[in-house]
Amino acid sequence: MKHYTHLFLDLDGTLSDSAPGIVRSAQYALEAFGIHVDNLDDLLCFVGPPLEESFQEFYHLTPSQADEAVKVYRRRYEKIGVYENALYPGIPQFLDKARQAGKVLMVATSKPQRMADLVLSHFGIADRFAFVGGREDSSRRTKEEVIRYVMKENGLTRTEDIVMIGDRKHDVLGAKAVGLDSVGVLYGYGSRDEFQAAGATYIVDTLKELEELLLA
């Protein structure tokens, strides 16, 4: 087991259970295109990956339609959906233990930068992080680009010092593209098969296992 000095954490599905707000906002956006989805579980694919990718992959919107769907999605999400959200139990304590162990905590999320800042402030955990990196529409559209941005802005070049923690294959694939190790957390919205296929360095079932892996 390597000794990592920097922990990069995803937000949705890793720090917080944000599914209710995300899936209801995706449902709202799809309605604008005449697509009616009654079972919200069918929309869990929207938790984690970049939104336009999910609109195209799972509902076959064109790139321009997907960009418009994201705009409709955000109209609901920014007013209502962002607050249909809750931290996973034990997250503040895990963050505190990690900092006490000397780890530098940073967020690397596909959520827009201003929304990530809003969520972290809303839950009162923004001060646990040395840096927060989110997506911007003109740049940083993929998880790989977000991770590279976080590294560049903080002058981090030693990939062996960093591990990316997330709940979907995009976290693992983004980390791999940059040369980072990764941890897939199964308490979020990904599956063991998904993580294994993507090549996660480690897979844990619970937050306790994550703590034992990285802080022991």
Pairing of strands 6-9, 162-166: parallel
- Distance between CA 100 and CA 198 in Å, rounded? 31
Q: How far apart are the first and last CA of the chain?
A: 10
| Catalytic (active-site) positions | 10
The β-bridge relationship of strands 16-17 and 104-112 is unpaired
Yes or no: say if 54 and 46 are a contact pair by the CB < 8 Å rule.
Answer: yes
Q: Give the residue among 165, 182, 174 at the shortest CA–CA distance from 8.
A: 165
d(CA 84, CA 42): 18
Q: Which element (helix H / strand E) includes 162?
A: strand 162-166
Distance CA 207, CA 101 (A): 16
